[in-house]
Amino acid sequence: MKKKKTMKRAILMVCILSMVMSPAAFAANAECLNGEGKFSKCMVYTKDGYLHVDYSSSKYKHLDRKIDGTKISEISKGEYARRRVGESVGLAFVNPLFLFMLFSKKKRDNFGVIYQTENEKSDSILFTTKKKYSPTIMTGLKAVSGKDIVEEVQSKKEGKSSEKK
């Protein structure tokens, strides 16, 4: 009986600590554009009025950014989707049922942030995240910068894009 009470207390303490942790604990896994024009794994989060972008690889640590929210001039968001052809064909050798993955899409959201550096020059950062992290990132970006996010909407029939606020 005493073990159950201690276990319940331990679980309750973990739950309470998880609720009062810093916002950095809710960092989103993302892929950020590096200097070579390719995407690398990074963490994106907002904390204390700043947008933090931390690259996972030590090769790109010099690209880490701590952007003051008041220096952000524009935020844009767009959607990216692609078919899972490579995964489907590769896994079809294991089990032919994996060919049904050809009908699914991998959906991600792209974010572009334009900001002013300390030298008053304009700079930007581009990162992409899974759809499930987008609402959290959008809320954090709006709170830090006070700016609305400009969304690019792709028309399926015409293939033309239009802006939506």
Rounded mean pLDDT of the chain?
Answer: 75
Q: Compute the CA torsion angle 95, 96, 100, 101 (nearest 10 deg).
A: 50
Which candidate, 50, 47, 77, 79, places its Cα nearest to that of 138? 77
Can you say how many angstroms the Cα of residue 142 is from the centroid of all Cα atoms in its chain? 14
Hey, what CATH class is 22-164 in? Answer: mainly beta
pTM, rounded to two decimals: 0.65
In which band, very low, low, confident or very high, does the pLDDT at 23 lie, cut at 50, 70 and 90?
very low
Query: How long is the chain?
Result: 165
Segment among 59-63, 95-99, 158-162 with least mean pLDDT:
158-162
Each residue of 59-79: pLDDT tens digit?
Answer: 999 999 999 999 999 998 887
Which candidate, 23, 19, 78, 76, places its Cα nearest to that of 51? 23
Q: Does residue 105 surpass a pLDDT of 80?
A: no
Q: Which residues of 102-132 are buried (b: 16+ CB within 10 A; e: fewer)?
A: eeeeeebbbbbbebeeeeeeeeebebbbeee
Q: Does residue 115 surpass a pLDDT of 90?
A: yes
